[in-house]
Protein backbone atom coordinates (compact mmCIF):
# COMPACT_ATOMS: atom_id res chain seq x y z
CA UNK A 1 0.00 0.00 0.00
CA UNK A 2 1.23 3.45 -0.83
CA UNK A 3 2.32 5.79 1.91
CA UNK A 4 -0.09 8.51 2.87
CA UNK A 5 0.06 11.89 4.50
CA UNK A 6 -2.64 13.64 6.42
CA UNK A 7 -4.12 16.72 4.82
CA UNK A 8 -6.33 19.34 6.45
CA UNK A 9 -7.86 22.01 4.28
CA UNK A 10 -9.67 24.62 6.33
CA UNK A 11 -11.09 28.05 5.69
CA UNK A 12 -12.01 30.43 8.47
CA UNK A 13 -15.66 29.64 8.12
CA UNK A 14 -15.53 25.88 7.66
CA UNK A 15 -13.50 22.73 7.28
CA UNK A 16 -13.18 21.67 3.67
CA UNK A 17 -11.25 18.44 3.82
CA UNK A 18 -9.47 16.29 6.34
CA UNK A 19 -8.04 12.87 5.75
CA UNK A 20 -5.18 10.73 4.46
CA UNK A 21 -4.08 11.24 0.88
CA UNK A 22 -1.30 10.01 -1.38
CA UNK A 23 -0.39 13.34 -2.81
CA UNK A 24 -1.49 16.92 -2.70
CA UNK A 25 -0.93 19.62 -5.29
CA UNK A 26 -1.28 23.26 -4.38
CA UNK A 27 -0.75 26.60 -6.15
CA UNK A 28 2.25 27.98 -4.28
CA UNK A 29 3.16 31.58 -4.77
CA UNK A 30 6.33 30.65 -6.58
CA UNK A 31 4.75 27.87 -8.58
CA UNK A 32 2.73 24.73 -8.40
CA UNK A 33 3.75 22.43 -5.54
CA UNK A 34 3.32 18.68 -5.44
CA UNK A 35 3.71 17.26 -1.99
CA UNK A 36 4.28 13.60 -1.22
CA UNK A 37 4.69 11.95 2.18
CA UNK A 38 7.92 12.79 4.05
CA UNK A 39 8.27 16.14 2.41
CA UNK A 40 10.53 18.39 4.41
CA UNK A 41 9.02 21.23 6.48
CA UNK A 42 7.82 24.03 4.32
CA UNK A 43 5.86 27.20 4.75
CA UNK A 44 4.50 29.14 1.81
CA UNK A 45 1.81 31.46 0.67
CA UNK A 46 -0.79 30.24 -1.79
CA UNK A 47 -2.11 31.91 -4.88
CA UNK A 48 -5.77 31.68 -5.78
CA UNK A 49 -6.20 28.42 -7.60
CA UNK A 50 -6.94 24.75 -7.31
CA UNK A 51 -5.79 22.35 -4.65
CA UNK A 52 -5.86 18.76 -5.82
CA UNK A 53 -5.66 15.85 -3.49
CA UNK A 54 -5.16 12.28 -4.67
CA UNK A 55 -6.91 9.93 -2.32
CA UNK A 56 -5.88 6.37 -1.64
CA UNK A 57 -6.84 4.34 -4.65
CA UNK A 58 -6.22 7.14 -7.10
CA UNK A 59 -9.43 9.16 -6.88
CA UNK A 60 -8.89 12.89 -7.08
CA UNK A 61 -10.67 15.72 -5.34
CA UNK A 62 -10.50 19.37 -6.25
CA UNK A 63 -10.81 22.42 -4.04
CA UNK A 64 -10.67 26.04 -4.93
CA UNK A 65 -8.71 28.31 -2.63
CA UNK A 66 -8.53 32.05 -2.95
CA UNK A 67 -5.10 32.33 -1.45
CA UNK A 68 -3.92 31.41 1.99
CA UNK A 69 -1.07 29.62 3.69
CA UNK A 70 0.37 26.16 3.35
CA UNK A 71 2.33 24.42 6.05
CA UNK A 72 4.05 21.12 5.50
CA UNK A 73 5.27 18.84 8.28
CA UNK A 74 6.68 15.47 7.23
CA UNK A 75 3.36 13.64 7.44
CA UNK A 76 0.96 16.50 7.82
CA UNK A 77 -0.12 19.19 5.43
CA UNK A 78 -2.24 22.10 6.60
CA UNK A 79 -3.83 24.46 4.13
CA UNK A 80 -5.24 27.58 5.70
CA UNK A 81 -7.43 28.99 3.00
CA UNK A 82 -8.60 32.59 2.94
CA UNK A 83 -12.31 32.99 2.59
CA UNK A 84 -12.22 35.78 0.12
CA UNK A 85 -9.56 37.36 -1.94
CA UNK A 86 -7.61 39.70 0.18
CA UNK A 87 -6.27 42.87 -1.18
CA UNK A 88 -3.86 44.83 0.94
CA UNK A 89 -5.78 48.07 0.64
CA UNK A 90 -8.90 46.28 1.83
CA UNK A 91 -7.27 45.65 5.21
CA UNK A 92 -6.03 49.19 5.25
CA UNK A 93 -9.48 50.61 4.56
CA UNK A 94 -11.10 48.44 7.18
CA UNK A 95 -8.54 49.52 9.77
CA UNK A 96 -9.02 53.14 8.90
CA UNK A 97 -12.78 52.99 9.18
CA UNK A 98 -12.53 51.20 12.52
CA UNK A 99 -10.29 53.95 13.81
CA UNK A 100 -12.49 56.67 12.45
CA UNK A 101 -15.57 55.20 13.97
CA UNK A 102 -13.89 55.26 17.33
CA UNK A 103 -12.68 58.82 16.93
CA UNK A 104 -15.89 60.20 15.52
CA UNK A 105 -17.92 59.39 18.54
CA UNK A 106 -15.34 60.24 21.13
CA UNK A 107 -15.69 63.96 21.24
CA UNK A 108 -15.17 64.32 24.93
CA UNK A 109 -11.69 64.79 26.21
CA UNK A 110 -9.70 61.71 27.02
CA UNK A 111 -8.81 61.49 30.63
CA UNK A 112 -8.18 58.70 33.05
CA UNK A 113 -10.39 55.70 32.81
CA UNK A 114 -12.80 56.04 35.67
CA UNK A 115 -12.48 52.81 37.55
CA UNK A 116 -14.56 54.00 40.46
CA UNK A 117 -17.47 54.87 38.22
CA UNK A 118 -17.13 51.66 36.25
CA UNK A 119 -17.28 49.66 39.43
CA UNK A 120 -20.32 51.51 40.70
CA UNK A 121 -22.15 51.01 37.43
CA UNK A 122 -21.34 47.36 37.24
CA UNK A 123 -22.21 46.83 40.87
CA UNK A 124 -25.58 48.46 40.26
CA UNK A 125 -26.30 46.33 37.23
CA UNK A 126 -25.31 43.17 39.04
CA UNK A 127 -27.37 44.10 42.08
CA UNK A 128 -30.36 44.58 39.82
CA UNK A 129 -29.87 41.18 38.28
CA UNK A 130 -29.47 39.57 41.67
CA UNK A 131 -32.60 41.25 42.93
CA UNK A 132 -34.55 39.95 40.00
CA UNK A 133 -33.26 36.46 40.63
CA UNK A 134 -34.14 36.71 44.31
CA UNK A 135 -37.64 37.96 43.58
CA UNK A 136 -38.15 35.12 41.20
CA UNK A 137 -37.08 32.61 43.78
CA UNK A 138 -39.39 34.09 46.38
CA UNK A 139 -42.29 34.05 44.04
CA UNK A 140 -41.69 30.43 43.23
CA UNK A 141 -41.46 29.39 46.87
CA UNK A 142 -44.56 31.34 47.88
Partner 1 sequence: MAGAKEIRTKIKSIKSTQKITKAMEMVAASKMRKAQERMRAARPYATKIRNVISHLAHAHTEYRSPGLVEREIKRVGLIVVSTDRGLCGGLNTNLFKAAIVAMQQWRNQGIEIDVCTIGTKAFQFFRRLKGNIVAHVSHLGDAPRFEDVLGPVKVMADAFAEGRVDAIHLVYNEFVNTMSQKPKIEQLVPVTAEVKESAPVHRWDYIYEPDPKDLIELLLRRYGESVVYQALVENVACEMASRMVAMKSATDNAGALIDELQLIYNKARQASITQELAEIVGGAAAV
Choosing from 1, 38, 106, 141, the residue that interacts with partner 1 (CB under 8 A) is 106
Task: Judge contact between 9 and 16, C-beta under 8 A.
Answer: yes
The sign one gets for the Cα dihedral 90, 46, 14, 61 is positive
The reply to whether 36 sits near partner 1 by the rule CB under 8 A is: no
Choosing from 1, 38, 89, 111, the residue that interacts with partner 1 (CB under 8 A) is 111
The reply to whether 131 sits near partner 1 by the rule CB under 8 A is: no
Percent helix, strand, coil in the chain, to 5, is 30, 45, 25
The reply to whether 40 sits near partner 1 by the rule CB under 8 A is: yes
Size of the site for partner 1 (CB under 8 A): 54
Choosing from 32, 90, 134, 137, the residue that interacts with partner 1 (CB under 8 A) is 90
Ordered alpha helix ranges (H), 23-114: 88-105
Amino acid sequence: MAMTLHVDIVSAEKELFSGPVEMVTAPGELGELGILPRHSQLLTRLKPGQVRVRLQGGDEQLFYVSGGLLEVQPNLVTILSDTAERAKDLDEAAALSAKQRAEQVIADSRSEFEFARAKVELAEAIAQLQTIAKMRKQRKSS
